[in-house]
């Protein structure tokens, strides 16, 4: 084992490739004289030249790097579920560093690249001489590895690895347990097909088109041609004429020079120009062809011709669940069967963490988390762990709706109540106390809202000022005469869409300003709402507040961009559009912060209180109008009681006023406000 250990370190140091001689030629020398892998394009294709072809290299790199960056954990099975087996000797080798020269990512992407291009990726397993515990993993050069099958008797075979390094004089036969072999699709399950060998024609055609394009430009980007003389020329004259023509025109620097043809000499084009040869179409098709060989969506190798904003995410999920998932499974099963002892496989197993590649947009993730929390299969700490946050005290509780019972059972009937006068008196006292608490709760939430309204207004004022600055700069650049950019309405709208994109500066500023305010505001409301119903446990609304903030940001981005685009489209000239947009920006600065503060000081307390009461087990809510002047719509809703999970007004419902005019709901309304200026409240039904 000591010889192999020193040999593999020698291989690592000589990975750049030592010099070879005619007596001990490297594989590339043999391939060079043999003519390499056969292909119809007439271009030399081997494992080195294939990686010089950009689409193929990009595809191999995508799979190798994506697999390399995913954390690989060794888990231990427990009675229900699993936990990370950090005490197992393999854990740090798989997750952190397999040896003292490379990290886990460098090791995995190297082996994965070998598996794709050569059909197998093999690593040498270094074990302790006495205990047999695996200490290191070293990748072996694939051109020096041969996979052999050894017969063990009737119907029994095992895989061995033969390593031959003629340059350094290292020869070894590795038995099972001394190597880790990752292979792809093959005809025997022992080793995989080499994609380079199978795709030699496709890679050769791609290299040929690159070479053809380079030669075209080196010849002045002109097609081939012939010089024609009306009489016979001597060999010397022909040579001199050809040399003169080459000296004038050959090379990029000499392209398009003027030539003077004497004695009736004429130029005749030979061959077709690039457009007739469909040169660009061929190059595009080759990119798609490489994606097909590697089972990749075209956008992963840089082909965005058919990509859209709506299908990129779905293609990414499909890539992870199909192409990448197949390689992940091969890795996990190879580690399970080749590195773990048979008695360990019942207890331990490897698994990649692919959540990072499957993360959708933030809003979609938080909606999924909300469903998991609501139906009891995710706790607050489960969610925080998925978001790479530390756990919080009390975050391990799993919540379920109170009206859920096991299938086949019915909800428990209420206990028999003594109809004595004492019970009636007690009930009356509870109702009176509940009404008192409701009144105090409404007043308390209004005080909390009044305290936070100035902070909301101040934050929204900063956002409006930022929009004035950023959008105003785009107006000056694209719509105002003399701007830095070309005057173009389409260019303005394109830049505006980037500015108001989900990852743009407006979204970033809004999230940074809103999130701490909304989180603290909701926490104050939750504390008071929990006290109102006698709920003693702490209610953590930080995750809910995060989702609420992101939803508000998304709505504001869409609304602001839509308003500015509408102003632009409605204008007759670019000057009119610039004027209308600036007027709207000024209006936002002067009016919107106060409007936003009024709306949020009514909406957020009701929404946060409702979430708190859901955690506290409240089943019903009641709509209560506020103030002496009520609108006809709020008057119709006053006193309405519904289940806490149901909306007071469903999307599409109509609420009639006193004059018969109906207000149609554009969304499900679970709590006030129902319209601008609405100051209604919801209270828990005790």
Residues 463 and 602 in one domain: yes
| Residues across the chain | 686
Instruction: Specify the pLDDT at position 81.
Output: 80
Q: Distance (Å, rounded) from C-alpha 525 to C-alpha 607?
A: 9
**3-state secondary structure labels for all residues of 539-551:** CCCHHHHHHHHHH
The per-residue pLDDT for 43 is 72
The CA distance from 182 to 191, in Å, is 8
Query: Which of 618, 634, 659 lies at the terminal end of a domain, its last residue?
Result: 618
Across the chain, mean pLDDT equals 76
Containing domain of residue 631, as a range? 620-686
- Please tell me whether residues 630 and 578 are part of one structural domain: no
Which residues share a beta bridge with 654? 664
101 three-class SS: coil
599 plus 627 within the same structural domain: no
Residue 611 lies in a domain: yes
454 & 590 share domain: yes
> In this structure, are 598 and 633 located in the same domain?
no
Residue 308: partners with Cβ closer than 8 Å, 6 or more residues away? none
pLDDT at 539: 82
Residue 84 included in any domain = no
Distance of CA 76 to the CA centre of its chain: 28
| Res 96: pLDDT | 93
Residue with tokens 């020398």: 29
Nearest Cα to Cα of residue 69 among 122, 112, 124, 29: 112
Token digits of residue 29: 């020398």
Single residue among 270, 297, 323 that ends a domain in this structure: 270
pLDDT at 334: 93
Residue where one domain finishes, among candidates 599, 618, 637: 618
Do 583 and 634 reside in the same domain of the chain? no
End-to-end C-alpha distance for the chain, whole angstroms? 76
Tell me, what's the pLDDT at 571? 84
From 72, 148, 143, 149, select the one nearest 114 (Cα to Cα). 143
Please check whether residue 392 lies inside any domain of the structure. no
Triad 318, 73, 105: Cα angle to 5°: 75
Distance of CA 234 to the CA centre of its chain: 70
In a domain, 253, yes or no: yes
Q: Is 402 helix (H, G, I), strand (E, B) or coil?
A: coil
In a shared domain, residues 521 and 634: no
Q: Is residue 158 part of a domain?
A: no
CA-CA distance, 263 to 280, in Å (whole number)? 39
Query: Rounded to whole angstroms, what are the CA distances from 32 to 35, 202, 409, 557, 593?
Result: 5, 20, 77, 60, 74
Total domains present in the chain:
3
- Reported as a single tens digit per residue, the pLDDT across 539-594 is 888 888 888 888 888 888 889 988 988 988 888 888 888 888 889 899 988 999 88
Q: What does the alpha-carbon distance between residue 261 and residue 263 come to, in Å, rounded to a whole number?
A: 7
Residues 114-141 as b or e (16 or more Cβ within 10 Å = b): bbbbbbbbbbbbbbeeeeeebbbbbbbb
Query: Hey, what long-range contacts does 206-209 have (CB within 8 A, 24 or more apart)?
Result: 206/53, 206/55, 206/56, 206/283, 206/286, 206/289, 206/290, 207/41, 207/43, 207/45, 207/49, 207/52, 207/53, 208/41, 208/42, 208/43, 209/279, 209/282, 209/283, 209/286
**442/567 same-domain check:** yes
**Residue 274 and residue 232 in contact, taking contact as beta carbons nearer than 8 Å:** no
For the stretch 428-474, pLDDT in tens is 444 443 444 444 567 778 888 888 888 888 989 999 999 989 888 88
141-to-32, 115, 160 alpha-carbon distances in Å? 19, 11, 16
Indicate whether 522 and 607 sit together in one domain.
yes
- Provide the pLDDT confidence category of residue 671 given band limits of 50, 70 and 90: confident
One domain, residues 614 and 624: no
Tell me, what's the pLDDT at 437? Answer: 42
Q: Are residues 427 and 455 in the same domain?
A: yes
Q: Is residue 192 part of a domain?
A: no
Same domain, 677 and 588: no
Between 285 and 273, the more confident residue is 285
């Amino acid at each position: 084992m000591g010889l192999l250990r020193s040999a593999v370190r020698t291989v690592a140091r000589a990975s750049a490739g030592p010099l070879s001689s005619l007596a001990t030629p490297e594989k590339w020398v043999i391939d060079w004289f043999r003519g390499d892998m056969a292909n119809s394009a007439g271009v030399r294709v081997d494992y080195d030249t294939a990686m010089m072809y950009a689409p193929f290299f990009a595809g191999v790199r995508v799979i190798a790097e994506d697999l390399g960056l995913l954390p690989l954990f060794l888990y231990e099975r427990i009675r229900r579920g699993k936990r990370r087996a950090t005490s197992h000797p393999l854990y740090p080798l798989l997750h952190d560093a397999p040896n003292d020269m490379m990290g886990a990512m460098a090791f995995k992407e190297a082996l994965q690249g070998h598996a794709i291009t050569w059909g197998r990726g093999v690593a040498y397993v270094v074990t302790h001489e006495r205990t047999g515990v695996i200490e290191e993993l070293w990748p072996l050069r694939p051109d020096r590895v041969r996979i052999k099958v050894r017969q063990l008797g009737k119907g029994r075979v095992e895989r061995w690895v033969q390593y031959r390094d003629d340059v350094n004089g290292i020869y070894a036969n590795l038995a099972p347990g001394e190597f880790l072999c990752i292979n792809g699709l093959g005809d025997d399950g022992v080793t995989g097909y080499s994609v380079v060998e199978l795709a030699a024609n496709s890679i050769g055609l791609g290299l040929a088109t690159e070479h053809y394009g380079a030669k075209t430009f080196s010849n002045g980007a002109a097609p081939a041609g012939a010089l024609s003389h009306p009489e016979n020329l001597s060999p010397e004259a022909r040579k001199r004429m050809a040399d003169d023509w080459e000296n004038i025109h050959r090379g990029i620097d000499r392209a398009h020079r003027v030539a003077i043809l004497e004695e009736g000499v004429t130029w005749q084009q030979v061959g077709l120009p690039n457009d007739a040869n469909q040169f660009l179409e061929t190059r595009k098709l080759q990119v798609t062809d490489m994606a097909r060989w590697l089972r990749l969506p075209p956008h992963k190798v840089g082909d965005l011709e058919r990509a859209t904003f709506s299908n990129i995410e779905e293609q990414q999920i499909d890539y992870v669940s199909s192409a990448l998932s197949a390689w992940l499974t091969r890795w996990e099963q190879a580690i399970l069967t080749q590195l773990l002892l048979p008695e360990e496989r019942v207890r331990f197993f490897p698994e990649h963490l692919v959540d990072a590649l499957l993360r959708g947009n933030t809003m979609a993730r938080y909606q999924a988390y909300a469903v998991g929390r609501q139906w009891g299969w995710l706790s607050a700490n489960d969610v925080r762990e998925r978001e790479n946050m530390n756990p919080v005290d009390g975050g391990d509780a799993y919540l379920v709706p109170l009206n859920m019972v096991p299938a086949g059972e019915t909800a428990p009937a209420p206990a028999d109540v003594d109809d004595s006068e004492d019970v009636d008196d007690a009930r009356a006292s509870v109702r009176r106390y509940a009404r008192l608490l409701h009144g105090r709760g409404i007043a308390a939430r209004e005080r909390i809202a009044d305290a936070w309204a100035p902070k909301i207004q101040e934050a929204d004022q900063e956002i409006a000022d930022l929009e004035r600055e950023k959008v105003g700069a785009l107006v000056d650049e694209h719509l105002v005469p003399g701007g830095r950019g070309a005057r173009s309405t389409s260019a303005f709208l394109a830049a505006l869409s980037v500015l108001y994109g989900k990852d743009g500066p407006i979204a970033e500023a809004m999230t940074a300003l809103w999130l701490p305010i909304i989180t603290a505001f909701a926490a104050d409301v939750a504390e008071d709402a929990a006290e109102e119903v006698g709920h003693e446990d702490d209610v953590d609304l930080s995750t809910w507040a995060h989702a609420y903030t992101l939803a508000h940001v998304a709505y504001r981005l869409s609304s602001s961009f839509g308003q500015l685009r509408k102003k632009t489209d409605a204008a007759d000239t670019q000057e009119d559009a610039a004027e209308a947009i600036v007027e709207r920006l000024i209006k936002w600065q002067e009016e919107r912060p106060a409007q936003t503060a009024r709306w949020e000081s009514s909406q957020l307390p009701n929404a946060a209180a409702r979430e708190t009461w859901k955690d506290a087990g409240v089943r019903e809510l009641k709509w209560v109008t506020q103030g002496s002047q009520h609108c006809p719509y709020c008057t119709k809703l006053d006193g309405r009681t519904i289940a806490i999970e149901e909306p007071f007004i469903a999307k599409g419902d109509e609420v009639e006023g006193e004059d018969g005019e109906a207000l149609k709901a554009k969304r499900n309304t679970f709590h006030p406000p129902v319209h601008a200026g609405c100051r209604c409240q919801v209270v828990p039904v005790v």
